[in-house]
Amino acid sequence: MAATIAICDDDQSFVELTTRYLVFHGYSVWSAEDPAGFTARALEEPPDVLLLDMQMRGGGGPQALAAIRECPELKNLKVIMCSGMPVEQMALWAEGMAGVKYLAKPFDTRRLGQLLEEIVPKAAFIAFTRAVSPQMARCELTHLERSVIDVKRAAAQHEAYEKALSKAGCDVRRLSAAPDLPDSVFVEDAAVVFDELAVIARPGAETRRGEVVEVEKALSGLRHLEKIESPGTLDGGDVLVAGKRVFAGRTARTNDEGIRQLGLLLAPRGYVVAAVPVTGCLHLKSAVTAFDENSLLINSKWVPRDAFPGFDLLEIDPSEPYAANVLKLGETLIMPSAFPKTRARLEREWKKPVIVDADELAKAEGAVTCCSLIAARRPGEPRAGC
């Protein structure tokens, strides 16, 4: 989750400008105009960092800092003191106080950004997610028989999955829910995010086209956007990115025109797109995903091995055809609990994956990559499996 920054300052225009900057950079922010107001709220809603003004009408920052250090719940709080005074003078005021940094006003907001990065390093990835729709039972199904979906159980599994994403280093951002769109939890299909741009998909299933609107809004502040246009269709779940090599599944959802447009959008940025035939499953990434930059987990009954020259290919256990969908984030590999035999193979060949229950979501033909849309926070962050 995003780090929370509290601002304690009685200068409203400073608070407004700084809040705008911080929110734009993905922080949660709240403010108080005096130390008493700050302490009361901080006990309810502890921040990660306090931006504390030195000279407020109702009492100075140094006294406030001393009071915070005496409060057991807040004594370890990281503080950035700010004032119109020179930094050296501020440092004298708070001499000997651990966990305090200084910023002289007016300050360059980028300097504030750098200080915050040092104090609370941001997550390496942003993971967009979306709540399970109460209408999930009406989801699209292609290769599975319809079975009763326990929406509450699916939602609980989805929440646990979001926690696993956080633990893996993601800043998890839930998009506003779309209760009328049964498949909206599967955000992966609405876009593909690269370091240089994001491509807004045009889902092959008409019932899913409305899902892209909110995803496009969310990505617009983060990346340059391009779009797959009619008559092209493309689902994000059909696009496997491994460095500059991009594989696009030719499926019932993604057509040749969609793949052609993707290739044209990516070529100027140095990516090479290869079309891959897929049979027997919904998306390319139902059949193959990456468990490290050079290694793919594959079900070669659904996708040919020779489509991936130069990669090490690990076969799933044949008794677990749906096991090839795993989500790699930095050093973490997330995998569903339903595939113990393939998991044992992965543990032998790679290392222990993080296991989540996803069987209720799987009844809607979804798997672990489908429930999030991952964007590297810093370009170049290794994220095989996207």
Rule CB under 6 A: is residue 365 a binding residue for ligand CIR? yes
9 or 183, CB closer to ligand CIR? 183
Binding mask 108-147 for ligand CIR (x = CB under 6 A): -------------------------------xx-x-----
Rule CB under 6 A: is residue 321 a binding residue for ligand CIR? no
Smallest separation (angstroms) from ligand CIR to the CB of 68: 47
- Residue carrying structure tokens 């108080």: 32
Binding mask 258-287 for ligand CIR (x = CB under 6 A): ------------------------xx-xx-
Tell me which of 183, 211, 214, 360 binds ligand CIR, using CB under 6 A.
Answer: 183
75 or 146, CB closer to ligand CIR? 146
Rule CB under 6 A: is residue 366 a binding residue for ligand CIR? yes
- Tell me which residue of 4, 99, 8 sits closest to 47, measured CA to CA: 4
Within 10 A of 338 (CB to CB), how many other CB atoms are there?
16
Non-local CB neighbours of 182 within 8 Å, separated by 6+ positions: 133, 135, 136, 137, 138, 139, 140, 207, 364
Report the distance separating Cα 234 and Cα 253, nearest Å. Answer: 6
Q: Are 54 and 90 in contact (CB under 8 A)?
A: yes
Tell me which of 33, 53, 171, 188 binds ligand CIR, using CB under 6 A.
Answer: 188
Among candidate residues 8, 158, 283, 386, the one labeled active-site is: 283
Smallest separation (angstroms) from ligand CIR to the CB of 135: 12
Report the distance separating Cα 36 and Cα 56, nearest Å. Answer: 12
Smallest separation (angstroms) from ligand CIR to the CB of 183: 4
331 or 359, CB closer to ligand CIR? 359
Smallest separation (angstroms) from ligand CIR to the CB of 308: 19
Tell me which of 370, 375, 376, 384 binds ligand CIR, using CB under 6 A.
Answer: 370
Rule CB under 6 A: is residue 48 a binding residue for ligand CIR? no
Phi/psi for 350 (5° steps) reads -130, -100
Report the distance separating Cα 179 and Cα 318, nearest Å. Answer: 36
Among candidate residues 82, 370, 371, 386, the one labeled active-site is: 370
The span of 42-50, 69-77, 153-161, 186-194 binding ligand CIR (CB under 6 A) equals 186-194
51 or 241, CB closer to ligand CIR? 241
Report the distance separating Cα 350 and Cα 342, nearest Å. Answer: 12
Smallest separation (angstroms) from ligand CIR to the CB of 369: 6
Judge whether 370 counts as a catalytic residue.
yes
Rule CB under 6 A: is residue 211 a binding residue for ligand CIR? no
Smallest separation (angstroms) from ligand CIR to the CB of 187: 9
Rule CB under 6 A: is residue 209 a binding residue for ligand CIR? no
38 or 186, CB closer to ligand CIR? 186
- Tell me which residue of 217, 223, 142 sits closest to 175, measured CA to CA: 217
Q: Contact positions toward ligand CIR, by CB under 6 A?
A: 139-140, 142, 183, 186, 188-189, 205, 208, 237, 282-283, 285-286, 364-367, 370
